[in-house]
């Protein structure tokens, strides 16, 4: 379950409008259009498609570009082959992964910035960016299976949608055993419908969907209805061996029901109940109508969540990292910097968590797993994601140097 769609990254900005094209009145390449935006102290509305201008003002874009400059220094150039619209902007003090699309008239139809990546002189320098974040922090950095750095790696914290790695692991094991196949078809059910993030909550009951599609949606856009469909299809008995202390395993639908504004009695029953009582409560919650107007509770109720250690998350990721579905969403890593990236993140009120498996072009294997829980204030997603991106950047630089 995620408070926001963490589709492709926790971004500083994402604008979309119009349809990208390669013909017509284009006079600039996408890379040149991106460079013009990042180099300009003042944005020109003539550079942007109408749909983009309806979503953000030029003053906001000016402030955004100035904020990037304040973190990374002087803009120098845009690099990259533009595959899929992805580029990297080079600054005097770091880099900025970007995405851009132009419409048929050469105007910006979409622009997307991942967190800035200041130049790091050491891994400790990068990890120091986590310092000062409010809340309880844990992280683990593995290199070829050995610990490079760790804080609270065995402390189970609330991780939001990152728990879906356990569901994927159970599915992968059943497919490897021959019990199931990626091409197996499941029919969506109303009783398995959840709330966003995702898109499948809007799909009609009875829609046939393959296990491969459900898994790809669950991981790449953290689709909650896809997740619950897999949980019901596999059965909790198949998933809970990989779920640590999260037994009985909550579906996202049951989690939403527990966290409704008027659900105090339900939460009290959950906290007081043993495993048998909790299973009965889950069954009751899943059978009840879904309250789409339910309000999530304050971070103080983050104890009703999915809790995992960074060590377990890296272990789960190690088992599924080679699945092709991970190529859809690389998270905060720039996929072109690596031979392969496998990412899953999650967030909730007062919770943010990310786990990334990185295979360097020289064969070095890394796992970076970090979690921040803040039960007294809204979690600092921007600060967390910038620190996490800095760690990935430093590991990339180390791997490229050897």
Query: Does a cis peptide bond (omega within 30 degrees of 0) precede residue 197?
Result: yes
Q: By C-alpha distance, which of 313, 316, 338, 363 is closest to 158?
A: 313
Q: By C-alpha distance, which of 293, 280, 167, 278 is closest to 219?
A: 167
What pLDDT does residue 6 have? 35
What pLDDT does residue 298 have? 56
Q: Which domains does the chain have, with CATH numbers?
A: 13-118 (no CATH), 123-159+307-400 (3.40.710.10), 192-298 (no CATH)
What pLDDT does residue 87 have? 92
What pLDDT does residue 116 have? 86
pTM as predicted: 0.81
What pLDDT does residue 27 have? 76
Q: Which DSSP helix (H) or strand (E) runs through 344?
A: strand 340-348
Q: Which residues of the chain have pLDDT under 50?
A: 1-24
What pLDDT does residue 382 have? 87
Per-residue HEC secondary structure of 157-192 comes to EECHHHHHHHHHHHHHHHHHCCCCCCCCEEECCHHH
Distance CA 65, CA 71 (A): 10
Distance of CA 265 to CAs 257, 274, 284, Å? 11, 16, 13
What pLDDT does residue 107 have? 94
What pLDDT does residue 237 have? 97
Which residues are CB-neighbours of 272 under 8 A, at least 6 positions away?
none
Q: What is the pLDDT of residues 96-138, one digit of tens each?
A: 989 999 999 999 999 999 888 888 889 999 999 999 899 999 9
């Amino acid at each position: 379950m995620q408070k926001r769609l963490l589709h492709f990254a926790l971004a500083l900005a994402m604008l979309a409008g119009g349809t990208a094209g390669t013909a017509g009145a284009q006079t600039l390449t996408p890379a040149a259009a991106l460079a013009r935006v990042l180099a300009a102290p003042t944005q020109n509305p003539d550079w942007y498609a109408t749909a983009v201008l309806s979503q953000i003002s030029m003053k906001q874009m000016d402030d955004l570009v100035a904020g990037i400059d304040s973190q990374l220094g002087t803009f120098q150039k845009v690099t990259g082959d533009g595959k899929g619209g992805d580029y990297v902007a080079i600054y005097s003090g770091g880099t900025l992964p970007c995405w851009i699309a132009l419409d048929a008239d050469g105007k910006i139809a979409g622009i997307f910035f991942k967190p800035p990546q200041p130049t790091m002189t050491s891994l400790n320098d990068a990890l120091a960016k986590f310092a000062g974040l409010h809340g309880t922090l844990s992280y683990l950095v593995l290199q070829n299976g050995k610990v490079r750095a760790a804080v609270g790696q065995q402390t189970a914290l609330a991780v939001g949608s990152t728990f879906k790695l356990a569901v994927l692991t159970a599915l992968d094991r059943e497919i490897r055993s021959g019990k199931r196949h990626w091409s197996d078809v499941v029919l969506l059910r109303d009783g398995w419908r959840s709330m966003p993030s995702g898109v499948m909550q809007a799909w009609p009951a009875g829609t046939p969907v393959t296990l491969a599609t459900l898994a790809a949606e669950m991981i790449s856009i953290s689709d909650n209805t896809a997740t619950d469909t897999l949980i019901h299809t596999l059965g909790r008995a198949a998933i809970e061996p990989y779920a640590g202390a999260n037994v009985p395993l909550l579906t996202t639908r049951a989690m939403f029901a527990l966290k409704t504004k008027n659900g105090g009695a339900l939460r009290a029953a959950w906290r007081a109940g043993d495993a048998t009582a909790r299973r009965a409560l889950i069954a009751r919650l899943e059978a009840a109508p879904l309250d789409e107007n339910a309000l999530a509770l304050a971070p103080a109720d983050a104890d009703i969540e999915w809790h995992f250690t960074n060590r377990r998350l890296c272990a789960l990721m190690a088992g599924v990292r080679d699945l092709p579905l991970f190529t859809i969403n690389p998270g905060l890593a720039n996929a072109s910097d690596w031979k392969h990236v496998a990412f899953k993140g999650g967030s909730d009120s007062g919770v943010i968590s990310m786990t990334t498996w990185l295979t360097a072009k020289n064969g070095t294997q890394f796992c970076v797993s970090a979690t921040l829980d803040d039960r007294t204030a809204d979690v600092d997603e921007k600060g967390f994601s910038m620190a996490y991106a800095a760690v990935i950047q430093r590991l990339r630089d180390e791997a490229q140097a050897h």
